[in-house]
Amino acid sequence: MSLPPLHLSGRAVDFIDDEALQAMLARPADRGRVRELIAKSLDKAPLTVAETAELLVAEDPESVAAIFVAAHRLKEEVYGNRIVLFAPLYLGNECTNDCLYCGFRRSNHDAVRVSLDAEALRRQVLALEQQGHKRLILVFGEHPSYDAAFVAEATRTVYAVREGHGEIRRVNINAAPFDVEGFRTIKAAGIGTYQIFQETYHHATYAHVHPRGTRKADYLWRLDGLSRALEAGCDDVGIGALFGLHDWRFETLGLVAHAVHLQSRYGVGPHTISFPRLQPALGADLDAGRLVSDRDFLRLIAILRLAVPYTGLILTARESAELRREALGFGVSQIDAGTRLELGGYTRDDGGQHLEREQFRLGDVRSLDEVTRELATDGYIPSFCTACYRLGRTGEHFMEFAIPGFIKRFCTPNALSTLVEYLEDYAPPATRAAGERLVAEELARLEDGPLKAELLRRLERIRTTDDRDLCF
């Protein structure tokens, strides 16, 4: 079995102009323009790439503080105070690539290579369901064994695993880009979001960290991947960059340029944007001079929230629990919890990390329960909701709801109902108490009317019957 040939659509476009982006970042900051752009963002209007650059070059304390305040406000207005929870599940770490920053690189002979078969996959999914997870992202190396048919079959296997109230309602995918036919095969399995990280948008850096002779060395094949996915009918896509490979401000512009390109060409921007930072990995070659400070990391999150107000921002367990807690206030809407990167790691819990079996070192290894309890205590609604995807609010339909901020009307009741499911089915007493206090506070804030009355009826059904998945 071989990797699919590199057949690019004749419409493939390299929309990243390195010189133009760098020129934008060389212009002087203007406090007045920062205020104008913040006002535009608060009207739910996405920013252009050039406008985003104006926020990135603003260094004075007053402007930076204003950006943070606005990002917090915008997140509340668009998504409310709910935080969507998910878990990554690695299916295989065989890889034909040799990315300098990755523990799975093919030249790392100390890596223990594993691919989960169907039965091993079922055991992992069952373990995740028993914790209370409803949403997974499946992660694959780039290898002939992990072709489109393999990804599709793995997706179907995950959906089929059910025990008691346990079920996975949304399977997202993080895998190498395929051709259009490959994406169609995967879409037919019922996936949610297809996520591809460009890693770095800077051409010279991309060439340096992705050696020639590998599939990933083809910058345009990867950059065009989500365009092919959209052409194949995958209307929910996610983009991302690995911060620490090049200037963080350039990478932020690259992400916004990608979002603008997808929106202008397909009418659908990215459903999610991810911004992981480099972390130690077995056999990795890291350039410490490019690593992003915590303060700049929080800035880029806030600026992304202002630049692309409709998209979900994902903050992963690469970061410490303390930093993740702080970052939630600046625009993050999704986090992973109870994460294990080791192949087969969800059925083993020895409390340690084994880098020979993992892609990189995690910063937050807390359980789903611990994360859920902290969120509830801090006033965030831990959400296990998957309603938008399953009720057709995806692609252009999602944009119609999300851009003006109306999505909050659906998110809050759905977040509360899925939280009550978790509290009833999985939570120990301390988490259940914290969660129920939060639910009561949120219900008190809701306007009286038909929506609230229906939500109360549904919450009572969840608490007194086996009825579940009562989404709006």
Domains parsed from the chain with CATH numbers: 18-74 (no CATH), 82-401 (3.20.20.70), 404-464 (no CATH)
Dihedral sign for Cα 210, 150, 169, 361, please: negative
DSSP-derived 3-state class of residue 86 = strand
pLDDT, tens digit, 9 for 90 and up, residues 70-109:
999 999 888 889 999 999 999 998 999 999 998 888 888 8
Place of tokens 């990795």: 284
Q: Which residue type does 471 have?
A: C
pLDDT of residue 279: 82
For the stretch 385-437, pLDDT in tens is 887 666 665 555 555 555 554 555 678 899 999 999 999 999 999 999 999 99
Task: Give per-residue pLDDT as tens, 109-122.
Answer: 887 888 999 999 99
**Which H or E run includes 52?**
helix 49-56
pTM of the model: 0.93
The helix (run of H) or strand (run of E) holding residue 433 is helix 429-445
- CA separation for the pair 285, 268 (Å, rounded): 36
DSSP reduced 3-state for 353: coil
Nearest to 258 by CA among 277, 233, 275, 244: 275
Residue 403, both tokens: 């851009």
Distance from C-alpha of 166 to C-alpha of 169, rounded to nearest angstrom: 10
The distance of Cα 328 from the centroid of its chain, to the nearest Å, equals 14
For 127-181, what is each residue's pLDDT tens digit? Answer: 999 999 999 999 999 999 999 999 999 999 999 999 999 999 999 999 999 999 9
Above 90 in pLDDT, residue 234? yes
